[in-house]
Amino acid sequence: MYPYRNNKLRLRILICYVVILMATVSSARAVDRTRVLTIGLFTSGVALKFGSVFVANSAQDTYDQYLSTGIQTDLTKHRDDYKSKRNLSLGMSRTGIGCVGLAVLISIFDQLDFISESSASRSVQLSLKPSYNPRTGEAALTLQRKF
């Protein structure tokens, strides 16, 4: 009964994660379609990490069966099943970490491009800069345009 409660808790955490992800992705960004890859990679990575936990729990159950059995043919079957599930769990976990890491890197580079584009567009615009000369008491507005 204990693993069943643990799976229900993980399912609730996964549902909360999906709801939070849906709430944070605004409709304006969804229309942009440049972040679809990043969101897809991030979501896939987290889903793979959660999936690896379930496969690892299944591998642990198989290992417990391996320890409790006494028949030689069942020992070999349970050991092979445990090894395959453990390797699958490790592969899913590492792939999930890679997907999340790649999504973070793509997001960082997207933000750097956005910052450079916005600073380039600001350099073309006109700007008003106030100035004050304390010796003469004069205040002025200077209109500047960068070339």
Say if residues 143 and 126 touch (Cβ distance below 8 Å). yes
Beta carbons of 41 and 102 less than 8 angstroms apart: yes
Task: Indicate the DSSP class of residue 137.
Answer: T
| Tens digits of residue pLDDT in 78-100 | 889 999 999 999 999 999 999 98
Query: In the predicted model, is pLDDT for residue 132 greater than 70?
Result: yes
The closest alpha carbon to 58, from 116, 96, 10, belongs to: 10
Summarize pLDDT for 18-73 with one digit per residue, the tens. Answer: 666 665 554 444 445 567 888 888 888 989 998 999 999 999 999 998 888 888 88
Report residue 62 as tokens.
């198989």
Beta-carbon contacts of residue 111 (< 8 Å; ≥ 6 apart):
none
Q: What is the pLDDT of residue 134?
A: 79
Please state the pTM of the whole predicted model.
0.57
pLDDT at 27: 47
Structure-model confidence comparison of residues 122 and 93, the more confident one: 93
